[in-house]
């Protein structure tokens, strides 16, 4: 994948969100000289305004150094200022110090220490995008949409996202208690869990009825595409090479690496565009096309929900626009932006939003999400919303622009099997409570299997 040339960059990310000190003398002059700003710029009103603002920053910096109630390290002040500058742009730009940058690199390789939870920040609290399967967080009952109010009894308000993540991480076998606010709960919940080394199993698979491949992707890291191919090959062998359809589960998958989203889409699409990105500078815009490396043409159903974000939405959008799969579930999260990781002096890095992405039909899903072709709720209860649950609910959210008109949506479907009209939108009365260990209690999955079998039958009939 060709990376944009305007600056040194290590990769494009689409995941949910998770600081080199200087000593200044007379602050305004030092800052101005470092940035190449001279008093002569006063002749240009725009540059003069910039200089005055940098002077203001220097004055505040010096006043805090001299008069804050306790001594503060210069590094902390500058790093906080940088992070504030970035987090004020949108929910996904932020600054990473050397430790945070190393942690991010380890995480994208698929192994890291902590609780196994994807988070972002909103209104001073930490919002759960998704717990990762079979981790301390998921076993303790953390759910997508939870707001973390406190860690070991200490409020997270006033903490940066990086600081909060650092506190959640720690030595394996050490314990931590999360205070959580959840929709439809009368009071905050206290969830205690034990930290451990998180080995992300990015693909989970099983065979349903001997001929339907169920594949769940939990994230998009460096191992996702290769793991998916291995899992599908194993299921083919297990079925005696008699697979009839695929159910790809992207629910609560918060995203990850753009190149992995492209690779997974390419596994199921044999031609045409997969995704395009449009940046501020035209030369940095890019487009990815299928390479003809499709590994199967079996009928597909893709499961999505409000926890399906970014890279998950790229895959879902590509398969939907190409009519390669039928999407079932609820509307996705709506993160249609691309973040570039730019290394900085001192071994830290900045994660900066540099582009919007667009599905093959030209849709921007930023703030909107992807609507499923067949809407099916996970439960009967219409619980009242508490706090943000979609990209559009976050602060400083990026606008939706540049795509096809929003009212056009995805290309209309005329190829759905007749059974799609009969699939109920909610579980019936008395349907058992969801238990992750019992697939028959997963109502959305059960409807996806019904649809997948109908699509397989439709394909066989068309071939005869």
Catalytic residues, by residue number, are 310, 321, 335
Task: For the chain, give the longest Cα–Cα distance.
Answer: 83
Contact 94, 83 (CB under 8 A): yes
DSSP-based three-state secondary structure for 47: helix
> 102: which residues sit within 8 A by CB, 6+ positions away?
none
Structure tokens at 416: 């759905």
HEC string of 297-358? Answer: CCCEEEEECCCCCCHHHHHHHHHHHCCCCEEEECCCCCCCEEEEEEECCCCCEEEEEEEEEE
DSSP state of 446: H
Give the CA dihedral 204, 208, 210, 214, nearest 10 degrees.
-40
Structure tokens at 89: 């742009």
Which residues, listed in sequence order, are joined to residue 121 by a DSSP beta bridge?
A: 126
Contact 330, 376 (CB under 8 A): yes
Helix 74-87 with 45-67: angle, nearest 10 deg: 140
- If we measure between CA atoms, which residue out of 317, 307, 326, 330 comes closest to residue 255? 307
> 414: which residues sit within 8 A by CB, 6+ positions away?
none
């Amino acid at each position: 994948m060709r990376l944009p040339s305007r600056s040194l960059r290590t990769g494009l990310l689409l995941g949910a969100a998770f600081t080199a000190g200087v000593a200044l003398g007379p602050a305004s002059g030092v800052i101005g000289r470092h940035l190449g700003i001279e008093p002569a710029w006063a002749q240009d009103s725009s540059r003069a305004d910039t200089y005055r603002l940098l002077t203001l920053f220097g004055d505040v910096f010096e006043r805090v150094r001299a008069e804050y109630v306790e001594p503060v390290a210069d590094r902390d002040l500058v790093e906080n200022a940088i992070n504030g500058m970035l987090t004020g742009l949108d929910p996904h730009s932020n600054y990473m110090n050397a430790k945070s940058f190393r942690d991010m690199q380890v995480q994208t390789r698929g192994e890291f220490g902590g609780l196994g939870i994807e988070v972002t920040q909103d209104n001073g609290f930490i919002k759960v995008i998704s717990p990762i399967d079979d981790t301390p967080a998921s076993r303790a009952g953390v759910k997508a949409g939870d707001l973390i109010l406190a860690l070991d009894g200490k409020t997270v308000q006033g903490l940066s996202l990086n600081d909060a993540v650092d506190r959640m991480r720690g030595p394996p076998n050490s314990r931590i208690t999360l205070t959580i606010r959840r929709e439809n709960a009368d009071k905050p919940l206290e969830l205690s869990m034990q930290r451990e080394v998180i080995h992300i199993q990015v693909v989970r698979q099983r065979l349903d009825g001997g001929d339907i491949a169920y594949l769940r992707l939990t994230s998009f890291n460096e191992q996702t595409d290769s793991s998916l191919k291995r899992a599908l090959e194993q299921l083919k062998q297990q079925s005696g090479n008699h697979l009839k359809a695929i159910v790809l589960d992207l629910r609560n998958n918060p995203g990850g690496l753009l190149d992995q989203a492209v690779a997974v889409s390419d596994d199921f699409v044999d031609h045409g565009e997969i995704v395009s990105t449009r940046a501020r500078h035209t030369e940095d815009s890019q487009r990815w096309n299928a390479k003809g490396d499709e590994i199967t043409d079996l009928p597909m159903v893709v499961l999505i929900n409000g926890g399906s974000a970014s890279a998950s939405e790229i895959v879902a959008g590509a398969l939907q626009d190409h009519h390669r799969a039928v999407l079932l579930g609820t509307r996705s999260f709506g993160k249609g932006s691309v973040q570039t990781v730019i290394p900085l002096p001192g071994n830290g890095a900045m994660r900066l939003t540099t582009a919007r992405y667009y599905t093959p039909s030209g849709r921007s899903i930023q703030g909107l999400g992807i609507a499923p072709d067949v809407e099916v709720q996970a439960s009967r209860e219409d619980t009242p919303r508490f706090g943000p649950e979609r990209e559009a609910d976050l602060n400083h959210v990026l606008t939706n622009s540049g795509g096809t008109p929003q009212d056009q949506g995805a290309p209309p479907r005329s190829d759905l099997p007749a059974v799609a009209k009969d699939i109920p939108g909610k579980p019936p009365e008395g349907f058992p409570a969801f238990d992750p260990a019992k697939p028959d209690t997963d109502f959305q999955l059960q409807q996806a299997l019904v649809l997948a079998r109908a699509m397989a039958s439709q394909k066989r009939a068309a071939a005869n």
